[in-house]
Amino acid sequence: MKSFSFFVLLNVLILFAYAQDQTPPAAATCELTFAIQQGSTCTPCQQALFKHNTTDSSFIETKKPPSDKCLFTSIVFYYLTVNNPPSDDQKSQNLDSQKLTAALNQACADTANNACSVSDSKNAYTEVAKACDVEVNKYISTNGTGNGGTSISSVGGRAISTMIEYYVAIPTRDNFCLKVNDQYCTVKSFEQSEANQNTTTTDKNTFNALSCEDECNKQSYKNLLSYQSSHPPDTRNLQKVFIGKNNPLQEYEERCPSMTSNIANNFKSAGQKLTHQFYNYSGVILISLVGFIYTTFM
C-alpha cells in the first residue's frame, strides 16, 4: 500500500517533471475553464470552483506565486518551476534533495504565520459545498465515494476534490514543512523512496518509505490526529465524502498499529475527544495534483 504522503510527494514530482516542456495556458474566464458554449454562463457551482481553483496554473506564466495560501502544493510546484526553468539539459531538470529543500524553504516561508487560516479554509470548502450540492450528490449516486479515486473530469468530482483540498489545507502544509533533526520529513521520505528503487525490501513496518517508528511518521500522524479532533468535518457534503479509502489516518493505523494506538491512547488520556470523524479524511492532494495535470496539460 502506498501512503497518502508518498502519493502527495510522488505527484508533485510527476507534475514538476511533466511541466518542464509544456506551454502554460493563458488566463481564463469561468466559461473558458469549463468549456461553456458561447452565449451561456457558468452555473453557481462552476463559479465557486473557478473562484477556488485548485488546478489553476497561471502562476507558471505570470511568474508569481499563487495568491491563495491554502493551496500549498501549488505553491511548492511554483517554486520548483521558478528555481528550475525548462532546459534542454535533461540532467539539470532531474529533481534532487537540494532542489526540493530549496522549494520547501520558500513555500513554507511564504505560508508561515497562519497565512491560510482556519476561516480561510472553511470559507472555501463551505462555499463549494453549498454551491455544488446537486453536482456532488449526482456524482456520489453514480460513482459512489470513499474509494480513493475521485474523478475530476466531472463538475461533481471536481467539487469533491476541491472541498477536500481546502479542508485539509492546514495539516497538509504542516506536514510538508515538518522538520526532524533540521531535515524536512518530505525530503527524508523522498531520499528513502529513491534508495528503495534499487533495493527489494520485505519490511512491512514502514510508511512514507520510512519506518513506522521514525519520528517523522509519529509527528505527521499527531498533526493529522490533532487537527481532526479540533476541526471535524462540519458540512453535510463534506461528511459524505470523508469515508473509506479517503482517509490517511486509517492508512497509518493499518500499517503502523502499534505506533498509532500509543499516540491515540495518549490523546485520549490527555482529554482529546476522538470520534469516528477521524475517519473522514481524504487523499486530497493526490486527487488535486492529478486533476491539475489533467485540466492543465491534457
Residue 112 lies in a domain: yes
Which grid coordinates are listed for 106?
520558500
- Does 236 fall in a domain? no
User: What pTM was computed for the model?
Assistant: 0.80
C-alpha cell at 98: 537540494
Question: Residue 83 domain-assigned?
Answer: yes
Residue ranges making up the domain that contains 163: 4-22+38-187+282-297
241 domain-assigned? no
- Confidence class of residue 94 from pLDDT cuts 50, 70 and 90? confident
Neighbours of 142 (CB within 10 A): 10
Q: Between these two residues, 145 and 90, which has the higher pLDDT value?
A: 145
Q: Which helix (H) or strand (E) holds 179?
A: strand 179-180
Q: Does residue 27 carry a pLDDT above 90?
A: no
Q: How far apart are CA 260 and CA 51, in angstroms?
A: 38
Q: Residue 208 domain-assigned?
A: no
Please tell me the predicted confidence (pLDDT) of residue 20: 45
Rg of the chain (C-alpha set)? 19
Q: No. of H helices and E strands in the chain? A: 17, 4
Candidates 126, 192, 161, 155; CA nearest to 43 is 155
Residues contacting residue 258 through CB under 8 Å, at least 6 positions apart: 212
Mean pLDDT score of the chain? 79
Task: Assess if residue 148 is contained within a domain.
Answer: yes
Residues whose CB falls within 8 Å of the CB of residue 51, separated by 6 or more in sequence, listed in order: 127
Quick one: average pLDDT of 55-62?
A: 82
Q: What is the mean pLDDT of residues 93-102?
A: 86
Residue 173, C-alpha cell as written in the block: 502544509
Encode pLDDT of 179-231 as tens digits: 999 999 999 998 988 887 766 655 567 767 788 889 998 999 899 889 988 99
Q: Higher pLDDT residue, 143 or 298? A: 143
Please state, for a pLDDT cut of 90, what percent of the chain lies above it: 40
| 32 belongs to a structural domain | no
Residue 27 lies in a domain: no
**Counted domains in the chain:** 1
Query: Of 190, 160, 248, which Cα lies nearest the Cα of 16?
Result: 190
What's the rounded Cα separation, in Å, for the pair 52 and 47?
A: 9
CA distance 119 to 266: 28
Dump pLDDT digits (tens) for 251-278.
788 888 899 888 888 877 665 444 434 3
Q: Which of 14-28, 30-44, 95-109 has the lowest mean pLDDT?
A: 14-28
Residues 127, 207: contact at Cβ < 8 Å?
A: no
- In this prediction, residue 9 has a pLDDT band, given cuts at 50, 70 and 90, of low
